[in-house]
Structure 1
């Protein structure tokens, strides 16, 4: 029976997506994952917020991971197990994986939940195997972290006056940003008025306002009548633009996302020169929406949007069997309910060879971040 043309197209597209996200474990040499924490309570409340009774609506506190967020990370961990099973052993081996998290409750807890999904309970192993005996049946995996005051990778909270100055300069001089501001000035003032904020109050940026409403919506809380679909859609769009500003100039790329790009590139470079299997086969990073936005904006692959909860940036290093050359495949999984899709660095071919990628990204990697 012949397939209808449109159905055939959908089938081909689906097969292409499925194929594109499969991993060739034979050529895979290193896997790196950067993900956002799971669902959380809003970071802020506002004067007219109908849900500002934090104890009632957000009992674990503002900004804290929710049970839904834990489940999202568990699901992501299970997906990563499915993706890398056979490359990363089911029984934890400290030489195979390194986990790094920002020093924030929601990212540390997200990393824990993710690892529970990635590494099955010890009771699933045959009796007598390593670690199968004992009272603790969950595999414990160390999670490394960075002091918030020195974190330039994941929370990007390390002090950097020039970074802040450069961002303000771009925000105040970019014709595109100025145009967006002018076009939406009435919207900003209307929303601030409805929130009970003084017109000149700058604490609540577009991104923060959008986030508050999004969090409430995700928890099936009825939003105020002024927060209709049109305003919500507009705020999310503008929030995506605000995320994209982190890659607005070469200097911003170097100072905001550059350090994390440098880490990922250095890990891959080390893998190509390692003569032994001492370095990890997987590097996992538990971060924030800002982390993903800055990383992808710096690499030139960011589609201005709000990185979703438990969304993941995946970077796989492969080695061609015929030539021995290294190439990189990048994927983005913006939902725990769909397969990741490929990202392509502008100017890098297919396959994107590591040496070409290094050349293209070199302008965005700081040589001395503290000095710059």
Structure 2
């Protein structure tokens, strides 16, 4: 029977030292990878960088050049780290969400490692937005319960509505989604792409309010246990099934997904401590959750 060690990696290419018995030999590895740097996936009505602009600059929500470079650096790191597991010529089976940036991330990653692969697209396993009525209801109910703590005051919402042209009505959940999508879009435009944005976007108070909202909402969206079970269960089962599959020759397993899915996976394993009250930091681009499987060479029963 294989003995398992869990390694979680959240800052890109973060090395974590694990002290193991010298009789244990690395048998296989499973990497749950977040996609690379991307364009915004939301465009507000008054945004001067409209859909036409983004279609001319790689596409809404798609990978950008910086993201592709980061993926290649990560792939080289994994190639060096797990060289002994990558020396077969067989096609590896890689699973991704159906989102273009996740698919491209997997393709670039495997190509950079000089590995051929067959790709399976599976949103139920790797996309938190996949249709699941139970998970959605559980999440919506929880967000409504926490909405008073999450939502800015009405004055700020009216201010944002005036600046963005977005319709903020009576539906609290819709308003929350609009604000978190806006916070992400402005962060990408302002901080990552360094675009020449309007003054209100760089206003310190606006930046602080939207940034804190985004972090807190991120934490709450992945908090309910039912959401974790329904959204992370299939991925965890697939990983475990592959670990126990003695007939498989594949030693390196890649899952290309999104930050929410990474966190859900670690939360269901009680292994994620980055969402503490004072440190609400989601995973970075191309961060990975890594499961290493070791074989005990001195004891056939372990």
TM-score strictly above 0.5? yes
Consecutive unaligned residues of structure 1, counting only runs of 5 or more, are 1-16, 120-138, 327-372
Please say if 1:243 is aligned against 2:218.
yes
Is contact 1:163–1:256 with CA below 8 Å preserved after alignment? yes
Report the structure number with the largest CA radius of gyration. 1
Task: Write the distance in 2 (CA, Å) between the matches of 1:320 and 1:188.
Answer: 59
Deviation per residue, 1:298-343 (Å, 9 max, x gap):
22333232322212111112234555676xxxxxxxxxxxxxxxxx
Is contact 1:244–1:293 with CA below 8 Å preserved after alignment? no
Deviation per residue, 1:163-201 (Å, 9 max, x gap):
11111111223xxx2452356555444333322222317
TM-fit CA distance, 1:212 = 0.5
**Which secondary structure does the structure 2 equivalent of 1:226 belong to?**
helix
Give the corresponding residue for 1:163: 135
**Which secondary structure does the structure 2 equivalent of 1:205 belong to?**
helix
Please say if 1:93 is aligned against 2:90.
yes
* 1:118 counterpart (113, 122, 135): 113
Report the CA distance shift for 1:178/1:61 in structure 2 as closer, same or farther (over 3 A): closer
Please say if 1:298 is aligned against 2:268.
yes
Is contact 2:90–2:116 with CA below 8 Å preserved after alignment? no
**Which secondary structure does the structure 1 equivalent of 2:167 belong to?**
coil
Higher relative contact order (CA 8 A, sep 6+): 2
Aligned counterparts, 1:96-175, within 5 A? 97-119=92-114, 140-146=116-122, 151-173=123-145
TM-fit CA distance, 1:101 = 1.2
Number of matched residues? 276
RMSD: 2.9
Report the CA distance shift for 1:27/1:192 in structure 2 as closer, same or farther (over 3 A): farther
Give the corresponding residue for 1:318: 294
Report the CA distance shift for 1:281/1:25 in structure 2 as closer, same or farther (over 3 A): farther
Give the corresponding residue for 1:283: 253
* 1:20 counterpart (17, 20, 32): 17
Please say if 1:265 is aligned against 2:240.
yes
Deviation per residue, 1:106-138 (Å, 9 max, x gap):
11111111112222xxxxxxxxxxxxxxxxxxx
Deviation per residue, 1:18-42 (Å, 9 max, x gap):
5616998952122111111111211
**Which secondary structure does the structure 1 equivalent of 2:126 belong to?**
coil
Give the corresponding residue for 1:33: 31
Is contact 2:96–2:120 with CA below 8 Å preserved after alignment? yes
TM-fit CA distance, 1:284 = 0.2
The alignment's TM-score, normalised by the length of structure 2, stands at 0.79
**Which secondary structure does the structure 1 equivalent of 2:196 belong to?**
coil
Deviation per residue, 1:272-304 (Å, 9 max, x gap):
xx2x5x342121011122222322232233323
Report the CA distance shift for 1:172/1:215 in structure 2 as closer, same or farther (over 3 A): same
Give the corresponding residue for 2:7: none
Task: Write the distance in 1 (CA, Å) between the matches of 2:104 and 2:221.
Answer: 26
The alignment's TM-score, normalised by the length of structure 1, stands at 0.65
TM-fit CA distance, 1:62 = 0.9
Give the corresponding residue for 2:207: 232
**Which secondary structure does the structure 1 equivalent of 2:33 belong to?**
strand
Report the CA distance shift for 1:286/1:47 in structure 2 as closer, same or farther (over 3 A): same
Task: Write the distance in 2 (CA, Å) between the matches of 1:209 and 1:154.
Answer: 23
TM-fit CA distance, 1:157 = 4.2
Task: Write the distance in 2 (CA, Å) between the matches of 1:25 and 1:115.
Answer: 30
